[in-house]
Structure 1
Amino acid sequence: MSIEELERLLLTQQRRGHNHLRFSRRLEQLFARDRFRFMQRHWGTRMVILAAVSFQLVYGLHDLLVMPFEVNLWLLPLRLLSVVAIIASWLYYRLPDADPERAQRYFATAYLVCGILVVLLIYASHIQGEQMPYEGLLLFLVFGHGVLSLPFRTVMFSGWLLYGLFLVLGLMFNNNSEQLAYQLLFLGCVNLIGSTGSYLQEHAHRSGWINLRLLNIARRRSEAETQSKLRQLAAVSHDLRQPLNAMGLYAQHLQECAADAEVQRVSEQLNISVEQLGRMLQSLLDYNRLTLTGAVQTQIQSIALLPMLERLRDEAQGDPAASGVRLLVECDEPLWVRSDPALLERMLRNLLSNALRHAQAGHIWLRAEQDAEDVLLEVGDDGVGLAEDQQELVFEEFRQLDNPGRNADQGLGLGLAIVRQLARLLGHPLRLDSAPGHGARFLLRLPLTEPAAIEEPARQQVMAGRVLLLEDDRASREALQALLQRWGCEVRACVNFDEALLVLDDLQPQLLISDYRLSGELDGLQALEAMRERCGTMLPALLVSADVSPALQERCMHQSVQLLGKPLLPARLRQALARHLNGQPSQAAVPGQA
């Protein structure tokens, strides 16, 4: 049944009501199935079965202690029969593939059989000259009406059938008519009150089931629409990044080539604006990817904190916002933690950028210290701080407390929202301690681990080398080729894979660079692998893509290809060129690093 059809049936049933405790045939089947599955999972059902068996065993022990042996010969078989009926129904009830209707019939039958046996026990003891009180039947009826959650019709039919059986046997074996009348009056009142309560309980249960089903449908539809919009945004990310990537490369090339002071100044401002736009687009797409269910997979490993913190500090010192700010790293001993290095670095970079742009601080620090079996990682500042009512607001999407004019220099207001999303994804508790005038401290708790093998340090950077570039977008191809040549590389730029194969032997490249989305049948990663096979060697390779999904990162890691995200930042490209042209092994990319 489709969601739309189910919603239509539920809304129709809701309008009609269900005072007769019956839905339409298809809804009744769904209701019975859901009710049965709930009872199967609920721990209270096991407690009910245990109580029912205990009820018979306790009374059986009581019979052995106070009843004559001849009476027990009659009573014990009946009690054992009731216990067998209860256990048999429960064994079927708990089967994973049990039929809901049949299981419900077995359960109701077991209840009715137990009730009949209780009535027979009362009069079996009377026949043997022992006066067993009728309270056992009274307790049984209360148990059925108030605890078992049987359907109203089942419990009402069973209750009045037991009442009738008690009446018939009472007229046959009970000589005290006044006592019998009193017992029948009391049992009748219990049945009447219990039946009313059972009706109200089931009516409320059915109303709640309809409302819950409609709520689940609305939630699923809302989630599906949200995921669809997020996927659409992720799908067009390549088209959004492609012209921005070419713009950034042209801006860098223009800045380096400009001889006139005014042209150089304008080109420098253009480069800054392109970088701002690239960071904003990257933040928006990163947040979109984090919100999209299952889009980000973690790669947990051992991480040395001190090199990461020092690298982030050195990177931040080049930020114009760091002018006049003292940046410190406090990590006295080599601490290793378990986390995803790319995602953890992204969190810390966002926290550091947030402090530089919004804290108005003179002193910002990255501090790591061991705390029992964990490491407490702190990004703090001595800035203006936050009031208590502001501390939750700063983690909201697109929220900037000190930027009412939406100054583009301060980003989109997604940095801390991404930090919170990543902290939840990685399972690292995040806490903010702040007060007005006393700065802010963002604290992350990470699991401590043993040191891993340390890689060899990178050699001195060298820029010269032969590069084969495969890019089908003309603007990006020409911009990247001009920039690489400006840096001293010998570059052959190819439009498609066939052209790349033709120049491969002639150029004998030292580095391969390819865009991921190509116009031919092969994607960029497949093209790089084919060119390596043609050369007969594992040439260093860079893959440039707007898609930095975990799946693509995994493919690049397995094929020893470094993934660079678009828009391509020249500084990242220079680092990658120097490492690979220097003979260093390639590494998988970190999301958001271009």
Structure 2
Amino acid sequence: MGHPRTGTERRRKAPAENDGPFEGGGAGQRAAGLSTAGLDRLCRHVAHDLRNGLAVLRTNVDYLEGLAPRDEAERAALGDLREVADRMEHGIDHLVYLVRYLSGTLTPSLQPISMDTWLRALVRRLEEAPGPAAGRIRLEAPEPARIWADPALLERALRDLVLTRLAHTAAPGPVELRFHRPPGWAELTVIDSGPPLSPAARASFLDPRAPLGEGRLPAREVEQGLVGPFCGAVVAAHGGQTRLEVVDGRNRFTLRLPQPG
């Protein structure tokens, strides 16, 4: 009488005893590459799931705040959770818009914008909202000019760029916002108070096709996320140009949108 097979031997033989056809082509089949349209759809599905989770988080924060937190530490913790949810929402938006740009589906809806009143209203909304903007945005008196652009995309890009520079500039330094209308262009410039971004960051910060690689950039620059590439995608979708330079130790971000006539 032979020795009984060990559990290990039994497990080794099981695949041979159960050989048969598998659906999907087996381990040797590589996944087909996603088309750009497929990548866009996949990103939207993922964003939908993430936003559902954020909605649950915000609902619970609202509920707990309604119970009147017992002390300042609890109020601060709930405020931190709400801020994290907002930052995650912005990050999801940036990712979705970037993928739409890369897949060729980000098409601006051009409308006339009166820049002097539009910029003043934008700065007022930023300074009235909770956050770091109060009293720190210096708007150079914009010339009364009308431009053609997608107002929703342009506001999102400009708002997020200004807020990011406020968060990463030398506190409590201001951020300047300027508008000029050279022939054929609408030019928006954001100038922070430093410190200067590294040459590697300047080369890729506003490029929607150049992800910020952790191996190449200092941690404080990696942490700035997708705001720069998102702004670059918005400008590129308009057919425009971007430039990032350091002048007198300050980072100068220029967004140029082409204009008819």
With normalisation by structure 1, the TM-score equals: 0.34
Cα displacement string for residues 419-442 of structure 1 (whole angstroms, at most 9, x for unaligned residues): 11111110122222215x521211
- Contact 1:379 1:441 (8 Å CA) reproduced: yes
Counterpart selection for 1:289 from 76, 89, 100? 100
Work out which of the residue numbers 31, 55, 62 in structure 2 matches 1:245. Answer: 55
Worse-matched range after superposition: 250-259 or 361-370: 250-259
Mapped to 2, the partners of 1:278 and 1:306 lie a distance apart of 29
- Normalising by structure 2, report the TM-score: 0.71
Q: Are the equivalent residues in 1 in contact too, given 2:36–2:102 (CA < 8 A)?
A: no
- Which AA in structure 1 matches 2:202? Q
- Provide the rounded CA distance (Å) in 2 between the counterparts of 1:404 and 1:438: 17
SS at the partner of 2:219?
A: coil
2:239 is equivalent to residue 427 of structure 1: yes
The answer to whether the 8 A contact 1:328-1:364 is kept is yes
The offset of 1:269, in angstroms, is 2.3
**CA offsets, 1:310-332, max 9 Å, x none?**
23323443454447x73111134
Q: Which runs of 5+ in 1 are unaligned?
A: 1-220, 451-594
**AA aligned opposite 1:310:** R
Q: CA deviation at 1:227?
A: 4.4
- Size of the aligned set, in residue pairs, is 222
Structure 2: distance between partners of 1:402 and 1:255: 37
Shift of 1:241: 1.4
Q: Give, in whole Å, the separation in 2 of the partners of 1:246 and 1:387.
A: 39
Query: Which residues of structure 2 form unaligned runs of 5+?
Result: 1-31
Give matches, 1:24-423, under 5 Å: 224-225=34-35, 227-261=37-71, 262-294=73-105, 296-317=106-127, 318=129, 320-322=131-133, 326-360=136-170, 362-395=173-206, 396-399=210-213, 401-403=217-219, 410=223, 413-423=225-235
Residues in 2 aligned to 1:246 and 1:446: alpha-carbon distance in whole angstroms: 39
Deviation by residue 1:379-406 (Cα, 9 ceiling, x = unmatched): 1123122354441132332457443696
Tell whether the 8 Å contact from 1:327 to 1:364 is kept in structure 2 after alignment: yes
Matched residue SS, 1:309: helix
Question: Any conservation in 1 of the 2:142–2:178 contact (CA below 8 Å)?
Answer: no
1:461 matched to which residue of 2? none
Higher relative CO (CA 8 A, sep ≥ 6), structure 1 or 2? 2
Give the aligned partner of residue 550 of structure 1.
Answer: none
Secondary structure (helix, strand or coil) at the match of 1:267 reads helix
User: Are 1:442 and 2:233 matched, yes or no?
Assistant: no
Give the counterpart letter for 1:264 in structure 2: R
Question: Any conservation in 2 of the 1:434–1:441 contact (CA below 8 Å)?
Answer: yes
Deviation at 1:259, TM superposition (A): 4.6
Q: Percent identity?
A: 25
Judged with a 3 Å threshold, the aligned counterparts in structure 2 of structure 1 residues 444 and 284 are, in CA distance, closer, same or farther, namely closer
In angstroms, what is the RMSD of aligned CA positions?
3.0
In terms of fraction of residues, the more helix-rich structure is 1
Specify the SS of the correspondent of 1:378.
strand
> Following the alignment from structure 2 to structure 1, what is the Cα–Cα distance between the partners of residues 44 and 158?
24
Q: Distance in 2 between matches of 1:443 and 1:306?
A: 18
Compared CA separation, residues 285 and 390, structure 1 to 2 (3 A): closer
Checking the alignment, whether the CA contact within 8 Å between 1:301 and 1:341 is kept in structure 2 is yes
Q: How far did 1:234 drift?
A: 1.7
Distance 1:356 1:367, change over 3 A: same
Pair 249,291 (structure 1): closer, same or farther in 2 beyond 3 Å: farther
Cα distance between partner residues in 1 of 2:184 and 2:221: 45
* Per-residue CA distance 1:79-128 (angstroms, 9 max, x = gap): xxxxxxxxxxxxxxxxxxxxxxxxxxxxxxxxxxxxxxxxxxxxxxxxxx
> 1:297 Cα shift?
2.3
Structure 1 residues 444 and 229, CA, compared in 2 at 3 Å: closer, same or farther?
closer
